[in-house]
């Protein structure tokens, strides 16, 4: 089936448009990797990606896994997934994350949880890229995966807003699908891009209010 699809809809590099694959070797070599883990709040270097003690918040994120800069080939790939519906590019992004997880000191027994889309946006797009990424990583690493969160209201895309407005935009926008099975558990929130951290922080607050002991953020790219 994949062979037939490749004949009908041949893959092209998301950057140089060369036929063959979504990221050709030359463009792949231009990916800007985050060389050292950073704190999710100040974005300064942090051991294993753990939140600095001085940045830590009671209901906040405990760490951040992010492997690339949101530029060039990675930015093009994420845009193709979101707005051109070429969702199988996600496998490449999951591989990029997988190859760099050794840098991060997140809890090994964490449960992967995707950042939800509003139902209206998910119907328009047909899928949630965070769900695709989370499920793929869960399969690869034998981690549990739970679709725990709901987006209660339609919010403007964070990329359209200034940093100070992003927190207000998502405040109170998330809730839990169920209250049970969260107390004392460790979670990793999954999304494609980490920008100001407002969305991830809001979701962490919801999980911690329900008793989660640890919440990390995981994203392909740092915006």
Here the CATH number for the domain that contains residue 128 is: 3.40.50
Question: Is residue 13 a part of any domain in this protein?
Answer: no
Tell me which residue range forms the domain holding 145.
35-66+107-222
Question: Is residue 111 a part of any domain in this protein?
Answer: yes
Question: Is residue 214 a part of any domain in this protein?
Answer: yes
Please answer whether residues 51 and 60 qualify as being in contact, where contact means their C-beta atoms are separated by less than 8 angstroms: yes
* pTM of the entire predicted model: 0.91
Rounded to 5 degrees, φ, ψ at 113 are -130, 120
DSSP string covering the chain: -HHHHHHHS--B-TTT--BT-SS-HHHHTT--B--S-B-TTT-SB-GGGBPPTTT--TTS-SEEEEEEESSHHHHHHHHHHHHH--GGGHHHHHHHHHTTGGG----TTPEEEEPPPPHHHHHHHSS-HHHHHHHHHHHHHT--B---EEE-S----GGGS-HHHHHHHHTT-EEES-STT-TT-EEEEEEEEESSSHHHHHHHHHHHHTT-SEEEEEEEEE-
Question: Is residue 27 a part of any domain in this protein?
Answer: no
Question: Is residue 90 a part of any domain in this protein?
Answer: no
Cα separation, 223 vs 49, in Å, equals 16
Residues of the chain with pLDDT under 50: 1-5, 7-8
Cα separation, 14 vs 37, in Å, equals 27
pLDDT at 126 (0 to 100)? 84
In whole angstroms, what separates CA 11 from the centre of its chain?
Answer: 24
Question: Is residue 30 a part of any domain in this protein?
Answer: no
pLDDT at 86 (0 to 100)? 76
Total number of domains constituting the chain: 1
Question: Is residue 76 a part of any domain in this protein?
Answer: no
């Amino acid at each position: 089936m994949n062979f037939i699809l490749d004949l009908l809809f041949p893959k092209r590099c998301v950057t140089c448009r060369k036929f063959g694959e979504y990221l050709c070797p030359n463009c792949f070599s231009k990916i800007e990797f985050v060389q050292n883990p950073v704190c999710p709040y100040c974005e300064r270097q942090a051991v294993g990606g753990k939140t600095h003690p001085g940045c830590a918040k009671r209901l906040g994120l405990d760490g951040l896994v992010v492997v690339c800069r949101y530029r060039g080939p990675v930015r093009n790939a994420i845009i193709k997934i979101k707005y051109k519906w070429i969702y199988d590019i996600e496998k490449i992004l999951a591989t990029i994350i997988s190859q760099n997880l050794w840098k991060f000191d997140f809890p090994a027994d964490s449960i992967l949880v995707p950042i939800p889309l509003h139902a209206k946006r998910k119907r328009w797009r047909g899928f949630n890229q965070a769900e695709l990424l989370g499920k793929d990583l869960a399969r690869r690493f034998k981690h549990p995966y739970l679709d725990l969160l709901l987006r209660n209201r339609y919010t403007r895309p964070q990329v359209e807003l200034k940093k100070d407005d992003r927190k207000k935009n998502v405040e109170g926008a998330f809730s839990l699908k169920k209250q049970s099975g969260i107390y004392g558990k460790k979670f990793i929130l999954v999304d494609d891009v980490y920008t100001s951290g407002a969305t991830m922080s809001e979701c962490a607050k919801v999980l911690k209010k329900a008793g989660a002991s640890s919440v990390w953020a995981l994203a392909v790219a740092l915006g």
